[in-house]
Structures are given as structure tokens and as C-alpha cells.
């Protein structure tokens, strides 16, 4: 029996170090680090302002911690992504997305451009500033291991048909969040409408290339699980890659038309600004030498 | 009879203890609002384990054992009863609105609806319902959301989240344990354009609903104090909570 190339530490190291180059250009679903190396920044965004660039596999997940003002664009690359999203205030993650308040306060369940993602503390976590899809869902949440086992035969995070809650549990754990910290989530790119009698009608996606852009109104932890919608009617688990791109920017300002678009939104953004102001020290004269 | 014999429960969760007191079986509870009828709805079968009137605006909690029935009576009519449920032995398993409405294919609850937990398992079944439909979408009112919905002048008003935090805290539950809750007797239509709103109720005095526990369940309730929308007819009133055990009596 001859020794393999990895039978010594030197050989194993050489083997490991050769992998990056060997894989170049062969793996589509991966992060690009640094994000400034992303080949196609959005119009008007300089590469240096990109802070996260990743293609998430169907059945995969990612998580981002981003500053207030960061723009986060989700793109359904091939037409069958479903981005399940949870948002937490990064400085105090007990403050988190509250779907019920989001739809109740804004008198609207069909989320699109101009709407806010509200926290349980009456503040805006994020604004939706662009949406070329319109096929989203605020009501039916994500999938569980039990439901995916029943529908597809498996629901484990690293199996062939991962449940959204299993993916959220892993993504959240990387921010010291537990299953208790996972409330009902929203999802983008697989639309649902509700009949007069309360029954859901699954509308599917808006097609390849649809995108949604969120602006972080507070520093955020975002958990993103890309997996089939719980009401997806297809027998076979179907989910395609999701692009996640984030870049530095500004939060919504009082001069923006969104600020005053509705009295509820104005009060949410006012409360958010007050919260940020109270935590921001006034620059002290002479503090720098 | 109370059931206080499950050592697996945290001390505060034992005994189905209601902070608002209990009335002896078969007698009219002494409420401060509309008169409470002594007679129980037909669906509330078995021996009475617990019979309580929750005053207007107050919280309440109890453990309902597997197989027992919880009947909620809307004494004054159109009184929203904000409702959360937890596995009494593992409170990380809790009511999930999305799982419940996914599985039943409707956003409204009525007879036959199964309340599911966050891992999709059945917790309780709605076995009788006089009202016809109940809300799963609107969640609880809070001081914070009230200021967004009605103005900052409402910040001092009582709200359901205050009740949930206070009553949940008695069982070791905190803020992270609060999720989208059920609103019994609350009418929240979704219009074709997606507009959702809390509108005038369709309940009436004396209407009731009955839930069967599919496992031992800790129920935490806020008898909604909201006065800025029609969910309580702008006049919060008491509700009656009765736990019966069909395996006895």
C-alpha cells in the first residue's frame, strides 16, 4: 500500500491549499470575500461599498450582521428561490421582527415597496425600497422538519429538502439565538393571496431575476433561509439559488417621501430615529487631539 | 378538583391556578360585569376542574391536561380573548399561527381547527364554536404598536402584551416566548387588495367555544383591554373560562 498524498502534514497542507485554485469558477453557490470582488455591483454602487455578496443554494441559508443604512438586495436568480427572512435588532436581539404588528399597523398583508418591517417595540427594522417581484408572503411562515418529512420524506437542515425552521435554528445559533428566539417569519418570491373565506392561493414566483431591496433602519442581524414555501404545491421539493448582495448606504431620512407616506409609518420611523438618537453620544469638542 | 400532581412542571405552572380565583363547580361565578350564566355549553362535558371569570382587561393562565376541555364564554359579547399556548412540559414548544393556518388551509379558526405548535404538532382542537370564525393574524396589542396605530398619546394605556409579560412571567416565560397569538372572538377580514383590519365583531353575549387539549398545555390569556378599535366593542368585558374533564363525571 503506497502512502497517499495526504499521509503527512506537509502533504495534507499542500492538498488543502490547492483546493481554492482548483475550484475557481466551479462552485456557483458561495460567498465572495471580500464583497468588493463581486463582478457586477448594482448601478451607482462602488465596489468598496459592497459588504456582503453571496449566492445561496436552494435549501441553503445565510446570515448577515449589518449596520444601520445598509441596503440588502435579494434576487431570485432562476425563478424558484424562496427567501424566508427574520430580522433582529443587532444590539438587542430580543427586539425582533413582529409579523402581526407589521401587517396590522400598516393595514396590509401584501408586502411591497414602501412597506416597513416592524419590530415588537414599535420601530422600523427595515424598509422595502425596491421590489420587482410582488410575490411575497407575510402570513404562512416557513416549513418545519415534521411538515417536510411528511411532504418530501425529509426535513433535516442538510438533507435533500431542508425545513426553514431547521435552517433558521442553525443561522440563529451563530448569533447565540435559540429556537425560542425564532418568531413567525416572512418570505419573498413565492406569492400567496388569501380568499374572502380565508383560504390561501399559492401564486408561485414572478420569474427569474426578480429582486427585493431592504434598507436597514437599525443595525440588524438578518437570518435568510432559502427553501421551498410551506404551501408550494409541487410534490417534488423545488428551490433554486438566491443572490444576497449588501452595500453601505443611508437609512430612510425625514426628507424621503417614504417618511410621511402614512401616519403609522411616520410614527414608526420617528420612534426609530429617537431610539438611535438616544444611543448616540454628541461629538465632544476637543475630544480629538 | 385540581390536578396538581405533575412534578415535571415548574412550580408556578402547577395546579391550573388562576390569579382571578375560581368558583365552585355549578355555581355562578361572581363577575363584576354582565351576569354569568351558571349553565355550561353542551360541549363542556365532564367534571368541572376549574371555573373562573377573568375580569375585563386582566390576564389569566391555567394548565389544561391532555383530554381536558377548555371552554371560553364571551359573557358580554365581542370581547377579544388574546390567547397563547405552550407545551406545559417544554415551553419552547408553543402555538404557531403559521403552522396552524398552513395545515388547515385557512387563516380563520372555527370548529375542527387544530392549533399547532412551532414544530407542527397538534396542541389543541377546537371542538365547538358558536361564533364562526376567529383571528390568527392580528397578534396582540401593545403600548408600542398602539402608539403607531393611534398616536403617541395612547402610550399610557393598558395592552395585551403587558398582560402576557406579567402572566407569562409567573411561569418563567419572557419576551422571547411571545409570538403571534390567537384572538378569540375578534373579526379581522383580509380584503382582496390585502387590506387587513380589526372590524366590528360577529360574536354576541353568551357565545362560547370549546378546545380539547391534545397534550398538557399551559394557556396564557389576555382579556384584551383595547379601547381604540372595535375588537372589544370599545368596552372591555369579563370572560368565563371553564376547564372540564370528560374522563371524570
Q: What is the pLDDT of residues A34-85, one digit of tens each?
A: 999 999 999 999 999 999 999 999 999 999 999 999 999 999 999 999 999 9
**Residue B148 near residue A105, CB atoms below 8 Å:** yes
Q: Is A262 helix (H, G, I), strand (E, B) or coil?
A: coil
Question: What is the per-residue pLDDT for A104?
Answer: 98
Q: Which residue of B has its CA nearest to A139?
A: B98
Partner residue facing B120 (CB), from A94, A110, A147: A147
Provide the pLDDT for residue A267.
98
Question: How far is A209 from A76, CA to CA, in rounded Å?
Answer: 5
Q: Collect all residues of chain B within an 8 Å Cβ-Cβ radius of residue A194.
A: 107, 190
CA angle, B68 then B69 then B73, to 5°: 155
In this prediction, residues B148-163 reach a mean pLDDT of: 98
Q: CB-based contact (8 Å) between A108 and chain B?
A: yes
Of the candidates A289, A167, A169, A172, the residue with the CA atom closest to the CA atom of residue A222: A172
To the nearest whole percent, how much of chain B has pLDDT over 90?
A: 84
* Residues on chain A touching B181 (C-beta within 8 angstroms): 100
CB atoms within 10 A of CB A236: 10
Is the pLDDT at B28 greater than 90? The verdict is no
Which of A181, A194, A267 lies closest to B148 in CB terms? Answer: A267
In a domain, B242, yes or no: no
Q: Outline where A98-144 has alpha helix (H).
A: 99-105
Q: Percentage of chain A surpassing pLDDT 90? A: 96
**Quick one: which of B249, B242, B239 has its CA closest to B56?**
B239
* Whole-number Å distance between alpha carbons of A5 and A8: 7
Our count of domains for chain B comes to 1
A positions 151-180 inside 8 Å of B (CB): 165, 178-180
Q: Which of B121, B161, B196 sits opposite A107 (nearest CB)?
A: B196
Q: What is the pLDDT of residue B24?
A: 40
Assign B5 a pLDDT band (cuts: 50, 70, 90). Answer: very low
Contact assignment for B98 to A141 by CB distance below 8 Å = yes
Of the candidates A100, A121, A145, which has its C-beta nearest B137's C-beta? A100
The pLDDT of residue B209: 98
The CA distance from B107 to the nearest CA of chain A, in Å, is: 5
Give the Cα separation of A156 and A145 in Å (integer).
6
Range of the domain at B165: 57-234
Neighboring chain B residues of A110 at a CB cutoff of 8 Å: 193-194
Round to whole Å and give the CA distance between A163 and A170: 11
Work out the minimum CA distance from B181 to partner chain A, whole angstroms. Answer: 9
Counting one residue from chain A and one from chain B, the pairs whose CB atoms sit within 8 A come to 133
Distance from CA of A74 to the nearest CA of B (A): 23
| CB nearest to B176's CB, from A118, A144, A181 | A181
Chain B residues within an 8 Å CB radius of A142: 98
Q: What does the pLDDT look like over B173-221, one tens digit per residue?
A: 999 999 999 999 999 999 999 999 999 999 999 999 999 999 999 999 9
Mutate to test the interface with B, among A82, A103, A128 (most CBs of B within 10 A): A103
Condensed to tens digits (0 to 9), the pLDDT of residues A102-125 reads 999 999 999 999 999 999 999 999
**Interchain pair B119, A144: CB under 8 A:** yes
Cα–Cα distance measured from residue A230 to residue A227, given in angstroms and rounded to the nearest whole number: 9
Distance (Å, whole) CA B12 – CA B171? 5
CA distance A120 to chain B (A): 7
Q: A126 CA to chain B: closest CA distance, Å?
A: 16
Contact between chains at A264 and B148 (C-beta distance less than 8 A): yes
Choose from B176, B193, B199, B224 for mutation: most chain A CBs within 10 A.
Answer: B176
For B196, the closest of A109, A122, A165 (CB atoms) is: A109
**pLDDT mean by block of 10 residues, chain A; 289 residues:** 88 97 95 97 97 98 98 98 98 98 98 98 98 98 98 98 98 98 98 96 97 98 98 98 98 97 98 97 73
For chain A positions 223-282, those within 8 Å of chain B (CB to CB) are 230-231, 264, 267-268, 271
pLDDT for B29 beyond 80: no
Contact between A184 and B151 using a beta-carbon 8 Å cutoff: no
| A139, A181, A229: best to mutate for the B interface, most B CBs within 10 A | A139
What residue in A sits closest to B108 (Cα-Cα)?
A198
Give how far A98 is from chain B: nearest CA, Å.
8
Q: Tell which wins on pLDDT, B38 or B246.
A: B246
- Exposure string of B131-158, with b = 16+ CB inside 10 Å and e = fewer, is bebbbbbbbbbbbbbbbbbbeeebeebb
Out of B97, B105, B148, whose CB is closest to A184?
B97
- d(CA A84, nearest CA chain B) in Å: 13
CB contact under 8 A, A109 and B190: yes
| C-beta separation of A230 from A206 below 8 A | no
Mutation target vs B (from A120, A131, A143; most B CBs, 10 A cutoff): A120
Q: Which chain B residues have a beta carbon less than 8 Å from that of A139?
A: 98, 101, 107, 137
Greater confidence, A283 or B242?
A: B242
Amino acid at each position: 500500500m503506497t502512502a497517499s498524498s495526504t499521509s503527512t502534514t506537509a502533504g495534507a497542507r499542500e492538498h488543502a491549499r490547492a483546493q481554492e485554485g482548483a475550484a475557481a469558477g466551479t462552485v456557483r453557490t458561495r460567498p465572495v470575500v471580500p464583497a468588493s470582488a463581486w463582478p457586477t455591483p448594482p448601478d451607482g454602487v462602488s465596489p468598496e461599498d459592497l459588504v456582503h455578496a453571496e449566492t445561496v443554494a436552494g435549501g441553503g441559508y445565510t446570515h448577515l450582521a449589518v449596520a444601520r443604512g445598509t441596503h440588502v438586495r435579494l434576487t431570485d436568480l432562476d425563478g424558484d428561490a424562496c427567501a424566508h427572512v427574520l430580522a433582529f435588532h443587532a444590539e438587542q436581539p430580543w427586539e425582533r421582527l413582529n409579523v402581526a404588528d407589521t401587517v396590522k399597523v400598516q393595514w396590509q398583508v401584501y408586502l411591497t415597496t414602501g412597506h416597513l418591517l416592524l419590530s415588537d417595540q414599535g420601530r422600523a427594522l427595515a424598509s422595502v425600497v425596491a421590489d420587482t417581484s410582488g410575490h411575497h408572503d407575510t402570513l404562512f411562515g416557513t416549513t418545519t422538519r415534521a411538515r417536510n418529512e411528511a411532504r418530501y420524506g425529509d426535513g433535516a437542515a442538510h438533507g435533500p429538502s431542508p425545513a426553514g425552521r431547521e435552517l433558521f435554528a442553525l443561522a440563529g445559533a451563530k448569533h447565540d439565538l435559540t429556537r425560542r428566539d425564532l418568531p413567525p417569519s416572512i418570505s419573498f418570491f413565492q406569492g400567496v393571496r388569501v380568499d374572502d373565506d380565508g383560504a390561501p392561493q399559492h401564486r408561485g414566483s414572478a420569474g427569474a431575476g426578480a429582486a427585493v431591496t431592504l434598507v436597514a433602519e437599525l443595525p440588524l442581524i438578518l437570518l435568510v433561509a432559502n427553501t421551498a414555501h410551506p404551501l408550494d404545491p409541487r410534490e417534488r421539493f423545488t428551490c433554486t439559488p438566491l443572490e444576497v448582495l449588501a452595500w453601505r448606504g443611508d437609512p430612510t431620512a425625514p426628507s424621503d417621501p417614504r417618511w410621511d407616506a402614512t401616519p403609522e409609518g411616520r410614527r414608526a420611523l420617528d420612534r426609530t430615529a429617537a431610539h438611535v438618537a438616544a444611543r448616540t453620544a454628541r461629538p465632544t469638542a476637543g475630544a480629538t487631539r | 378538583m385540581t390536578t396538581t400532581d405533575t412534578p415535571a412542571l415548574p412550580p408556578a405552572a402547577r395546579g391550573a391556578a388562576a390569579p382571578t380565583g375560581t368558583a365552585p363547580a355549578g355555581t355562578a361565578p361572581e363577575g363584576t360585569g354582565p351576569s354569568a350564566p351558571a349553565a355550561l355549553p353542551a360541549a363542556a362535558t365532564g367534571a368541572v376542574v376549574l371555573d373562573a371569570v377573568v375580569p375585563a382587561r386582566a390576564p389569566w393562565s391555567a394548565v389544561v391536561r391532555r383530554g381536558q376541555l377548555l371552554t371560553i364564554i364571551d359573557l358580554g359579547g365581542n370581547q377579544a380573548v388574546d390567547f397563547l399556548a405552550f407545551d406545559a412540559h417544554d415551553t419552547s414548544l408553543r402555538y404557531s399561527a403559521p403552522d396552524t393556518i398552513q395545515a388547515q388551509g385557512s387563516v380563520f379558526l372555527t370548529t375542527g381547527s387544530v392549533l399547532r405548535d412551532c414544530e407542527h404538532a397538534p396542541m389543541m382542537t377546537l371542538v365547538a364554536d358558536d361564533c364562526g370564525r376567529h383571528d390568527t393574524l392580528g397578534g396582540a396589542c401593545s403600548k408600542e404598536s398602539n402608539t403607531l396605530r393611534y398616536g403617541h398619546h395612547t402610550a399610557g394605556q393598558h395592552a395585551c402584551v403587558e398582560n402576557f409579560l406579567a402572566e407569562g412571567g409567573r411561569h418563567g416565560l419572557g419576551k422571547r416566548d411571545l409570538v403571534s397569538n390567537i384572538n378569540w372572538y375578534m373579526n379581522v377580514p383580509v380584503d382582496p387588495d390585502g387590506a387587513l383590519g380589526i372590524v366590528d365583531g360577529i360574536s354576541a353575549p353568551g357565545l362560547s367555544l370549546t378546545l380539547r387539549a391534545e397534550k398538557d398545555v399551559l394557556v396564557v390569556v389576555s382579556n384584551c383591554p383595547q379601547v381604540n378599535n372595535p375588537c372589544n366593542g370599545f368596552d372591555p368585558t369579563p370572560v368565563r373560562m371553564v376547564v372540564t374533564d370528560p374522563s371524570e363525571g
